Amino acid sequence: MKRFSSTISRLYAFIYLRGFKIWTSYKTQVILNILSWIIPVFTYYFVGTSFGQGFVSYIGVRNYTAFIVIGLAFQGYVSSVITTISGRMRSEQLFGTIEYYMLSPTGVFGMMIYSTVWGFILNTINTVAIVSIGIYLGVSFLGANLVGAFIIIVELLVSTLGLSMIAGGIIMVVKQGNPISFFFTTVTALLSGTVFPVKVLPYYARLISYAIPLTPALDGLRLALLKGASLHALYSYFIVLLLFDLVLIPLGFLVYKLGFDYARKKGTLSEY
* Residue from 221, 225, 167, 234 nearest 193 by CA: 221
Q: What is the pLDDT of residues 38-50, one digit of tens each?
A: 888 888 888 777 7
How far, CA to CA in Å, does 29 sit from each of 25, 130, 159, 168? 9, 18, 28, 24
Given a cut of 60, is residue 2 above it in pLDDT? no
Q: What is the pLDDT of residues 108-146, one digit of tens each?
A: 666 666 666 777 787 888 888 888 999 988 888 888 999
How far, CA to CA in Å, does 263 sit from each of 25, 209, 256, 260? 33, 32, 11, 5
Given a cut of 80, is residue 200 above it in pLDDT? yes
Given a cut of 70, is residue 36 above it in pLDDT? yes
The predicted structure's pLDDT at residue 100: 61
Pairwise CA distance, residues 102 & 266, whole Å = 15
The predicted structure's pLDDT at residue 10: 65
Higher pLDDT, 64 or 235: 235
Higher pLDDT, 123 or 254: 254
The predicted structure's pLDDT at residue 224: 94
Average pLDDT of the chain is 79
User: Residues of 83-122 as b/e, b for ≥16 C-beta within 10 angstroms?
Assistant: bbbbbbbbebbeeeebeebeeeebebeebbebbbebbbeb
For 196, half-sphere exposure in the C-beta direction (CA atoms, 13 angstrom radius) is 15
The predicted structure's pLDDT at residue 145: 95
User: Residues of 160-178 as b/e, b for ≥16 C-beta within 10 angstroms?
Assistant: bbbbbbbbbbbbbeeeeeb
* Residue from 245, 90, 102 nearest 178 by CA: 90
